[in-house]
Structure 1
Amino acid sequence: MTSTDSSSSALASRGAARLEWIRSRMPLLAGARAELAVTQPFAGHRIGMSLHLEPKTAVLLETLAAGGAEIVGTGNHGSTQDDIVAFLREQGMTLFGTRDDSLDQHHQNVLSVLDAQPTMLLDNGGDLVAGVVARGATAGILGGTEETTSGGDRLRRELAGAVPFPVIVINDSLLKAIGENKHAVGQSVVESFMRITNLMVPGRRFVVLGYGWCGRGVAHYLRALGGKVAVVEVDELKAFEAALDGFRVSTAVGLAEWGDVFITATGHAGVLTMEAIERMHDGAVLANCGHFPWEIDTDGLRAAATGSREIDEAIERFALPDGRHVVLIAGGRMFNLAGREPKGNSIESMDLGFLLQTLSLERIATGAATLTPGAQPVPDDVDRTIARRMLLTMNASE
């Protein structure tokens, strides 16, 4: 055995040990795995995936493989966990990428997934769907799913009318919005902030940009731990809701001097601009929990800074010309998955969310002809079936 083989085996063993705990706490996927092993809806299909490669995702992939799927995939930039990849490769899955990949290498990994000619897509941010459209290779795709708000927006704007197969947008599910986006993202973002920075929440001033389901969760969990929270929201109805929920509401520029920590949660590019950053006080902290690393103007920050220093792998300090400094978490990437010792959303929430993925992909595999082309919500019967199963696992009636 070569040293490389030995290292890979050690990584795989570590991944297997971590997965044992995660798998044991995902009863919804365990039930689906047993059902799919009998029905085999994915037999003969190659599922191309672009999704965070971490332990909970591994349980999803095991479930799809139990249903007959061949898996070829890659993670998202900066969030891949190498021990999980090593374990899944030992299970026969074809996976591209490492945690240290550059953004250019990540884009190449996505192309490698498409080169494998998948028949179904499990997408996160619309990269795979955009790739098959750009290549004119849509004829071989039965359909797929999209995990995120960002990807759903992309399908309905940039790719509107160009996708001839059905794509079920998991993030359109009210079940996911409540269970995963509001409560799980809210919890994981606050936990990740405390773990990465070692700063206290009580009494600190937080500005949450975006009051969609993720922003709501972040704002409410910060306030529950004693943070002072303000919200930036361009949608008048959501801003109204935030105000009635008791949050201060203004613009990013208007809150720049007030805030200590700025967390973006919008799914849109350029929401935290240099105009706002230039007004922040010394030591302000910038972080993003949206899918793409584009919500904070990191290019503008790097151009304006007189110097920068990496405190550790997840904290970078930028010196500004007037003597102030600001701190950027995880390079502007999704810091609850791309930061130090990433845990991501809670196990239970991803059990729910990934069962949505599983049953939606099953609907594509068994009934694509009954669905319309392009982006569409999770079928109502799938949502309600999962809600009933989740209530049973929670013992909610006790």
Structure 2
Amino acid sequence: MINNRHDLKDISLADQGRERIEWALTEMPVLSAIHDRFAKERPLEGARISGCLHITTETANLALTLKAGGADLVLCASNPLSTQDDVAAALVQHYQIPTFAIRGEDDSTYYRHIAKALGHRPQLTMDDGADLVSELHKNRSDLLAGIIGGTEETTTGVIRLRAMAADGALKFPVIAVNDALTKHLFDNRYGTGQSTLDGIIRATNILLAGKIFTVAGYGWCGRGIAMRAKGHGAQVIITEVDPLRALEAAMDGFRVMPMLEAAAISDFIITATGDKHVLDQAHFEVIKDGCVIANSGHFNVEINIPALENMAVKKHRPRSNVDAYQLEDGRTIRLLAEGRLVNLAAAEGHPATVMDMSFANQALSVAYLWEQGVDLENSVHPVPSNIDQQVAVMKLAAMGLSIDSLSPEQQAYLSSWQEGT
């Protein structure tokens, strides 16, 4: 039963969760260094934080870093199928961080958990998909005056927040952590690429080599998925609406075509656009028999699941995380993870190594907001460049890599316009 401190599946999973949290930390040296610094400097002393994030081992280590810095925080899940129940239990039992998250929770429970997180009366928010900020503005506007600022972790959330800002609806500043170079160039590309393929393979156990594999969207996530699918020997197709991204995909060696054409020949179709109904009824009407479809975008709207349900004459679950929809003409479409993020719903999400940089940006951005957020306008802000650079320097050092530095002569040359040929 839900209470003021937690709502979990099983508190007895806490020891298992702690082991996995500690395992992930071995691959997060930058966040570890920030944790140690925060523990000494206490930059978040007294800050009340509510976080709506994927409750995973990596997120747990971010939460522990913020707590070490003096923060008083409450967590809830940002997706019903991404919660790792043992991690949620460990956060409550071993680390005394109130957590409201149950893998597979229904929509009413999901939003009830967000309400519990908002009941913390946060001064700072952390979001992955902007559901917390959205609920705050819609249903808890009484709390807005006390909010100093927030952070947003993912592309979909940044899109929503920019739309809010454009409408004049956003009532506090938010830092787009997703847009930090040390986040999207690595997390979105390498993290999403590996973890999406991991989820697909775990769910299906189908060999990718030789298969026709379509990726909808050639943003940083789409690039990573396409790169990894190609590495598995798949024949990769890209579908796009942006001519520059489509051109880039073609120059990168991928086939480019409209989704209606791709659907008829694809063995796999993966959406990664952040938009709605990228796979729609028109595509289901021509889709290849046996095609596996999955989503790697934040919300489960990229695939028009209600249309698929209406078209199906039969539905069954041959494997965990696979729903097979049989159509009237006998064709079968196989949907993974109920159309939710396949990398988190059917696997474990991004490897800790890339989340190390993403959550280092989160931790430093939260501390920045606590110190300077009252002076920022109510819009979506980039991660300060010095934070981005700091994370890159720390990651290189943790990897044992060193780089060159400019000589005074080189610095003078770059800042001068007078010296030429």
**TM-score, reference length from structure 2:** 0.90
Please say which of residues 385-394 and 160-169 is displaced more in the overlay.
160-169
Correspondent of 1:366 among 368, 371, 389: 371
The offset of 1:299, in angstroms, is 0.8
Query: In structure 2, what residue type is equivalent to 1:290?
Result: G
The residue number in structure 1 matching 2:61 is 59
Q: Report if aligned partners of 1:266, 1:295 keep a CA contact under 8 Å in 2.
A: yes
The residue number in structure 2 matching 1:4 is none
1:207 and 2:214 matched? yes
1:124 and 2:115 matched? no
Query: In structure 2, what residue type is equivalent to 1:156?
Result: R
The residue number in structure 2 matching 1:80 is 83
Separation in structure 2 between the aligned mates of residue 239 and residue 175 of structure 1, nearest angstrom: 24
Separation in structure 1 between the aligned mates of residue 121 and residue 314 of structure 2, nearest angstrom: 45
The residue number in structure 1 matching 2:225 is 218
The offset of 1:372, in angstroms, is 2.8
Query: In structure 2, what residue type is equivalent to 1:297?
Result: N
Q: Could you list the per-position Cα deviations for residues 273-330 of structure 1 after superposition, in whole angstroms to 9, with x for gaps in the alignment? A: 1111111111000000101111001111011100100123301101101011110000
Please say which of residues 135-144 and 258-267 is displaced more in the overlay.
135-144
Please show how residues 67-106 of structure 1 align to structure 2 within 5 Å. Answer: 67-75=69-77, 76-90=79-93, 91-106=95-110
The residue number in structure 1 matching 2:387 is 382
The offset of 1:8, in angstroms, is 4.3
The offset of 1:373, in angstroms, is 1.9
The residue number in structure 1 matching 2:354 is 349
Separation in structure 2 between the aligned mates of residue 326 and residue 249 of structure 1, nearest angstrom: 22
Q: Report if aligned partners of 1:166, 1:374 keep a CA contact under 8 Å in 2.
A: yes
1:13 and 2:41 matched? no
Correspondent of 2:35 among 18, 33, 36: 33
The residue number in structure 1 matching 2:160 is 154
Correspondent of 1:42 among 41, 44, 57: 44
Separation in structure 2 between the aligned mates of residue 117 and residue 397 of structure 1, nearest angstrom: 44
Separation in structure 2 between the aligned mates of residue 294 and residue 176 of structure 1, nearest angstrom: 24
Query: In structure 2, what residue type is equivalent to 1:154?
Result: R
Change (3 A) 1:311 1:159: farther
Separation in structure 2 between the aligned mates of residue 147 and residue 313 of structure 1, nearest angstrom: 28
Q: Could you list the per-position Cα deviations for residues 352-378 of structure 1 after superposition, in whole angstroms to 9, with x for gaps in the alignment? A: 110010011111011113433221111
Partner-residue secondary structure (3-state), 2:195: helix
The residue number in structure 2 matching 1:3 is none
The offset of 1:159, in angstroms, is 4.8
Partner-residue secondary structure (3-state), 2:214: strand
The offset of 1:40, in angstroms, is 1.2
Q: Report if aligned partners of 2:164, 2:170 keep a CA contact under 8 Å in 1.
A: no
The residue number in structure 1 matching 2:117 is 113
- Structure 1 gaps of 5+ residues are 1-6
Separation in structure 1 between the aligned mates of residue 399 and residue 84 of structure 2, nearest angstrom: 29
Q: Report if aligned partners of 1:166, 1:376 keep a CA contact under 8 Å in 2.
A: yes
The residue number in structure 1 matching 2:26 is 24
Separation in structure 2 between the aligned mates of residue 396 and residue 37 of structure 1, nearest angstrom: 26
Please say which of residues 350-359 and 33-42 is displaced more in the overlay.
33-42
Q: Report if aligned partners of 2:204, 2:319 keep a CA contact under 8 Å in 1.
A: no
The residue number in structure 1 matching 2:419 is none
Report percent identity of matched pairs.
39
The offset of 1:145, in angstroms, is 0.1
Query: In structure 2, what residue type is equivalent to 1:386?
Result: V
Q: Report if aligned partners of 2:199, 2:345 keep a CA contact under 8 Å in 1.
A: no
Partner-residue secondary structure (3-state), 1:163: coil
Partner-residue secondary structure (3-state), 1:218: helix
The offset of 1:103, in angstroms, is 2.1
Q: Could you list the per-position Cα deviations for residues 55-107 of structure 1 after superposition, in whole angstroms to 9, with x for gaps in the alignment? A: 11111101011001111121121111111111101221111120021122112
Query: In structure 2, what residue type is equivalent to 1:376?
Result: H
Separation in structure 2 between the aligned mates of residue 20 and residue 35 of structure 1, nearest angstrom: 18
The offset of 1:331, in angstroms, is 0.2
Partner-residue secondary structure (3-state), 1:307: strand
The residue number in structure 2 matching 1:237 is 244
Q: Report if aligned partners of 1:130, 1:159 keep a CA contact under 8 Å in 2.
A: no
Separation in structure 1 between the aligned mates of residue 375 and residue 240 of structure 2, nearest angstrom: 37
Separation in structure 2 between the aligned mates of residue 280 and residue 64 of structure 1, nearest angstrom: 47
1:308 and 2:293 matched? no
Partner-residue secondary structure (3-state), 2:25: helix
The residue number in structure 2 matching 1:144 is 150
Partner-residue secondary structure (3-state), 2:213: strand
Q: Report if aligned partners of 1:71, 1:93 keep a CA contact under 8 Å in 2.
A: yes
Separation in structure 1 between the aligned mates of residue 199 and residue 337 of structure 2, nearest angstrom: 11
Query: In structure 2, what residue type is equivalent to 1:391?
Result: L
Partner-residue secondary structure (3-state), 2:75: strand
- Structure 2 gaps of 5+ residues are 1-8, 404-421
Report how many residues are paired: 390
1:165 and 2:165 matched? no
Separation in structure 1 between the aligned mates of residue 189 and residue 11 of structure 2, nearest angstrom: 38
**TM-score, reference length from structure 1:** 0.95
Greater Rg over alpha carbons, structure: 2
Separation in structure 1 between the aligned mates of residue 81 and residue 192 of structure 2, nearest angstrom: 18
